[in-house]
Amino acid sequence: MNRKLLFALIGFLVFVTGCASSAKAPPDPSVQRLQAQKGYDELDREMNNNGTLDMESPATAPMTASTNPTMVNNQPAMVRQQQPAIVKDYEGPKPTLMVLPATKAKEAQDLIVIQNEPSSKAMMEAINAFLTQKHYEVKSLEGQGALDELIQMQQEIAGDEEDFSYLASLALGADIYLTFSGSVQGDMVVAEVNAYETATARLLGSQTSEVKNNSGPNANLRALSQSAARKAMPGLEKKILAYWSADQKNGVQYKAVIKIKGSYSNTQIEDVHESVLSTLKTIFNKVSVNAMTSKTMDLIIYADPQKYADSHEVYSAIRNSLKSVASISKTNISRKLLLMDLQ
């Protein structure tokens, strides 16, 4: 009996000692690593099922709501950054464009010569190709008829004006005209393209691009010039369409030049100016003055395209509205320009 009790006591002590030793023993590192790996594997499987985070392409990662604006999916916002909204392609009516070399030609004929110079022609071809591919209507200054019209335009409205790019765009009815120039700077071929609104000659945007000449003196400068010009166009097009979309809210722009015929006193001239301006401002969205003299009124008219479909309808509205003031007759009308006599 005593022996049985002794064995039982020894067994109990061994059990207690073993349990105490197990409680105090440090965890096996290999077991911890195995458990952690199992946890990571399980997380990976979960992420693969729900959509894996792409750390290098945050724009593709789906965004989820969070109560903290600096957190995404309870992770720091730096994991997924919200990208700027993608700008959709412009779907409204596009402006009519014209492309010409950036030069101060002294004669209209000089502009034809310059634009046919090999490097200028190469750049113009590249720009025109880009625009036609984007479905723009592109005007061109070609043929004796266009040249004669430009010369007449210079005589009628320009005086000593030497910006034939501006005159050509008015004569041929472009909404916006682009001028370009090219140069070689070290081992870089540089192209600069500017865009101007035709009626006001306002600069809308500029874009400069460059391509490297890796062929030295044997380089094909024509091809490099075309490449540089093409490279500039996407950025400039965005600026053009941003202007065009915003400016259409004011209406379609027309340049109106009214020549005052006959002999008038200074007071009468003032009365004519005030009557014409006040009347036109009542029928059009906006009228701004470029210049007014005793012989000429140079105006920019912003017409609602829903009321006036083209320059001929604008002219009719001007003529009819001013019947009580004076007699108006047209001398030349193009898509963007109205030349009129007042007497």
Domains of the chain: 97-247 (3.40.50), 252-342 (3.30.1360)
Across all residues in the chain, what is the average pLDDT?
75
pLDDT at 13 over 60: no
Q: What is the mean pLDDT of residues 98-115?
A: 70
pLDDT exceeds cutoff 70 at 18: no
Q: Residue 343: what pLDDT?
A: 87
Q: Select, from the ranges 8-17, 40-49, 76-85, the one with the highest average predicted confidence (pLDDT).
A: 8-17
Residue 35 has what pLDDT? 53
**Greater pLDDT, 84 or 245:** 245
pLDDT of residue 121: 87
Task: Give the model's pLDDT for residue 28.
Answer: 54
Q: Which two tokens stand for residue 31?
A: 């077991």
The rounded distance, in Å, linking the Cα atoms of 127 and 130 is 5
The pLDDT, as a whole number, for residue 47 is 39
Identify the pLDDT of residue 108: 58
Of 23 and 127, the one with more pLDDT: 127
Q: Which of 172-176, 217-221, 224-228 has the lowest mean pLDDT?
A: 217-221
Please give the average per-residue pLDDT across 77-96, as a whole number. 53
- Is residue 268 scored above 50 in pLDDT? yes
State the number of CA atoms in the 13 A half-sphere of 161 facing the CB: 17
Specify which of 66-75, 155-164, 183-192, 280-289 reaches the highest per-range mean pLDDT. 280-289
Q: What is the DSSP letter of 258?
A: E
Strand order in the sheet with 252-260: 286-292, 296-303, 252-260, 337-342, 328-333
- Across the range 54-69, mean pLDDT stands at 34
**Residue 96 carries which DSSP code?**
P
Instruction: Please say if the pLDDT value at position 142 is more than 70.
Output: no
pLDDT of residue 137: 93
pLDDT at 79: 35
pLDDT at 146 (0 to 100) = 59
Between these two residues, 281 and 142, which has the higher pLDDT value? Answer: 281
Please name the residues in contact with 282: beta carbons below 8 A apart, sequence gap of 6 or more.
321
Q: Among candidates 269, 268, 261, which has minimal Cα distance to 293?
A: 269
The pLDDT of residue 59 is above 50: no
Structure tokens at 269: 């001239």
What's the sign of the alpha-carbon dihedral 89, 93, 99, 105? negative
How far apart are the C-alpha atoms of 200 and 278, rounded to whole Å? 21
Q: Out of 48-62, 89-103, 321-335, which region has the weakest mean confidence (pLDDT)?
A: 48-62
pLDDT at 166: 78
Pick from 205, 287, 270, 268: nearest CA to 240: 205
Q: What residues does 342 pair with on adjacent strands?
A: 260, 328
Percent of all residues in the chain with a pLDDT value above 90, rounded to a whole number? 38
pTM for this prediction: 0.65
Measured distance CA(261)–CA(266) in Å, rounded = 14
What pLDDT, on the 0 to 100 scale, is given for residue 77? 38
Arithmetic mean of pLDDT, 82-95:
56
Place of tokens 């985070």: 53
Reading phi first (left if > 0) and then psi (alpha if -120 to 50, else beta), residue 98 is in beta
